[in-house]
Amino acid sequence: MTTRREFLEQGAATIAALAVPALARAATPRFAELKARPARVQLAPPTYPKTEIWGYDGAMPGPELRMAQGARIQRSFLNELPQASSVHWHGIRIDNAMDGVPGLTQPAVEPGQGFDYDFVVPDAGTYWYHAHNRSTEQVARGLYGALIVEEPEAPDIDREEVLILDNWLLDPETAQIDPDFTSRHDRSHAGRRGNFIATNGRFDLSLDVKQNERLRLRLINAANARIFVLSIFGMEGWTVALDGMPLSEPKPVSEVLIIGPGQRADLIVDVTAASGETAHLVRVEDQEGVSQVAFPVSGRAAAARRGSPHPLPPNPRMDISGMEKAVTARLNMQGGAMGTLDAATLDGERKSFRQLVEANQFWSFNGTIGMTDTPLVSVPVGETIKLEIYNDTSFPHAMHLHGMHFREVTKDAALGPFRDTLLMFGGETRTIAFVADNPGKWLFHCHMLSHAASGMMTWLEVT
Ligand code: C2O
Ligand code: CU
């Protein structure tokens, strides 16, 4: 009898024997390159050595991709990493073949190989791109960047800043990235949480402003697992968009702003602090405020303070109709430390929780761990899907849907803002709805990347 393992090893040997050595480099790229490669950057304070990262074009964050609404992105991705990779364009209602999910929408791009991404961006807003193969490792090493799609008519602001928030796990002596990306503790608890927080790769980001200046802040949470709880100080602000999509009414930033991994928030803020003072984007931790980004104020803008901002123009095709006849599905999330999971199906076999722990797999969706050949829901294009999600775990999860935006259906049957990532706390049941108007195979997973790697991943099919 051949065990599964022996079988796989035999298979590997045969393939290796047959393999033609790969050419070092594919033909000249068709489009502008986006090259994933190792690099060294000064991430920790200057008294520390530089940190080895992986970055797009060797930078961290990668180059900002900025274009007009409706424009076409064409990029030849080249992989100069020591492992296979792919690029996912988070939040874009994209052509499925360009979504960048190895095994579902494309093969992983092997080292030395490339892949041409070519798609249209239908929606204005704040998006981002990041590696989508072995994401726990690749995103933690720095493979991400902002993808900004501009409204045809710019809002009335003086300037804008893109702020990518991340939380790194660094060795406290050498400032190198902790290479244990499969930590059992991280997987079974709140994910890979770091010890070093940065914005745009800087721990001390400081942006000079003037009193009365009106800024648009595009916040992107690129952290593996950290939920950023933010507030503003010395500024008055409004949230104008979430996950790229405009709110119908700007919402004053009065209390804290909670941004889960993968989520974005666009703020319009007016600097109210006087010249000589410093305004701050503040991280709220244990009732204390810690500066995330400093905005030293010098001088005063020529214009007087404006009234509250207008809403951003809505993106096209955003209505949700057909709620009465929606296809409904339920997703039960279980597992993790201090959870209720005592058995689940892994690779087609029923496993006890103890066996799951041995396999370093911890989270189940409807009793199954990770991806299978069966989608959670399969509908013809145009159908409305209503998904009731129960977080029967002790941890928060940031559930991200690829390819489409959804709205939360609140208890009183009202619809929340359009989002692509839903942050859910332990014990919560939340319902989302969306029109499945984008054909293809779409991932639905937790953006706490250690959770995605240890079970929290499923997919939907729109045919
Ligand atoms: Cu931002 Cu499937 O990821
Ligand atoms: Cu999770």
Summarised one tens digit per residue, pLDDT across range 445-458 is 999 999 999 999 99
Q: For residue 421, report the distance from its CA to the centre of ligand 1, in Å.
A: 9
Whether pLDDT at 315 is above 90? yes
pLDDT band (50, 70, 90) for residue 6: very low
- AA letter at 355: Q
**What's the ipTM?**
0.98
Whether pLDDT at 19 is above 90? no
Residues 305 and 212: beta-carbon distance below 8 Å: yes
Would you say the CB of residue 130 lies under 6 angstroms from ligand 1?
yes
Residues 151 and 124: beta-carbon distance below 8 Å: yes
Ligand 1: which atom is nearest the Cα of residue 128? Answer: 1
Q: For residue 88, report the distance from its CA to the centre of ligand 1, in Å.
A: 7
Strand ranges (E), 31-158: 32-41, 51-56, 65-68, 72-79, 87-90, 114-120, 125-131, 144-150
Domain boundaries, the chain: 22-150, 159-300, 327-462
Whole-angstrom CA distances from 95 to 78, 92, 99, 242, 317 are 20, 9, 7, 22, 15
Q: What is the pLDDT of residue 322?
A: 84
Q: For residue 346, report the distance from its CA to the centre of ligand 2, in Å.
A: 18
Q: For residue 285, report the distance from its CA to the centre of ligand 1, in Å.
A: 26
The single residue listed with the structure tokens 């709140």 is 190
CATH number listed for the domain at residues 327-462: 2.60.40.420
Q: Which CATH superfamily is domain 22-150 in?
A: Cupredoxins -  blue copper proteins (2.60.40.420)
Ligand 1: which atom is nearest the Cα of residue 421? Answer: 1
Mean local confidence (pLDDT), 14-30: 52
In terms of DSSP H, where are the helices of 255-399? Answer: 353-358
Torsion of CA 318, 321, 326, 328, to 10 degrees: 40
pLDDT tens-place string over residues 186-232: 999 999 999 999 999 999 999 999 999 999 999 999 999 999 999 99
Q: For residue 405, report the distance from its CA to the centre of ligand 1, in Å.
A: 13
Q: For residue 281, report the distance from its CA to the centre of ligand 2, in Å.
A: 26
Would you say the CB of residue 399 lies under 6 angstroms from ligand 1?
no
Q: How far is it, in rounded angstroms, from Cα 137 to Cα 119? A: 26
Would you say the CB of residue 88 lies under 6 angstroms from ligand 1?
yes
Would you say the CB of residue 216 lies under 6 angstroms from ligand 1?
no
Q: What is the pLDDT of residue 317?
A: 83
pLDDT tens-place string over residues 52-106: 999 999 999 999 999 999 999 999 999 999 999 999 999 999 999 999 999 999 9
Q: How far is it, in rounded angstroms, from Cα 219 to Cα 266? A: 6
Nearest CA residue ID for atom 3, ligand 1 = 90
- Note the CATH architecture for domain 159-300: Sandwich (2.60)
Angle ∠(389,390,393) on CA atoms, nearest 5: 135
Nearest CA residue ID for atom 1, ligand 1 = 90
Ligand 1: which atom is nearest the Cα of residue 90? Answer: 1
Report yes or no on whether pTM surpasses 0.90.
Answer: yes
Ligand 1: which atom is nearest the Cα of residue 452? Answer: 2
pLDDT band (50, 70, 90) for residue 26: low
Would you say the CB of residue 405 lies under 6 angstroms from ligand 1?
no
Q: How far is it, in rounded angstroms, from Cα 199 to Cα 60? A: 10
Would you say the CB of residue 90 lies under 6 angstroms from ligand 1?
yes
Closest-CA residue to 194 (of 182, 208, 177): 177
Fold agreement (22-150, 327-462): yes
